[in-house]
């Protein structure tokens, strides 16, 4: 099955893995130790991230290190970014509405 970046980021555990690997490369065991789920479950998440080219896994001696491939996250960023202004406008409007309500409440006190 061909996977894409959106499938990779759809799961909260995979997003947490991406966040960890953005800080530093980790061994598969080090990644697994950070979660309260089974090692096979983490292996499955890592496999999906690798299939989506979000991470690479390289063998160094007896260990296998996971490294983030941040450029592969660009399509998701670009898709989300196009909605940024829309949400900022909506949040600004909501904030203005709340300020209006607070002003009315202060006048009636």
* 49-102 pLDDT tens trace: 999 999 999 999 999 999 999 999 998 999 888 888 888 888 988 998 898 888
Asked if residues 10 and 45 have their Cβ atoms less than 8 Å apart, the reply is no
Phi then psi for residue 67, to 5 deg, are -130, 135
What strands lie across the sheet with 63-68, from one edge to the other? 26-27, 63-68, 55-60
Contact between 61 and 14 under an 8 Å Cβ cutoff? The reply is no
49: nearest Cα among 89, 101, 84, 7: 7
The reported pTM is: 0.75
């Amino acid at each position: 099955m061909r996977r894409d970046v959106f499938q990779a980021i759809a799961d909260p555990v995979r997003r947490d893995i991406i966040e960890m690997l953005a800080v530093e490369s980790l061994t598969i065991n080090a990644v697994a130790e950070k979660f309260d789920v089974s090692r096979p479950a983490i292996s499955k998440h890592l496999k999906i991230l690798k299939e989506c080219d979000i991470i690479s896994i390289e063998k160094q001696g007896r260990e296998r290190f996971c490294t983030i491939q941040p450029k592969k996250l660009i399509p998701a960023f670009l898709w989300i970014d196009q909605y940024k202004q829309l949400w900022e406008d909506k949040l600004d409007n909501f904030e203005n509405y709340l300020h209006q309500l607070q002003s009315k409440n202060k006048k009636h006190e």
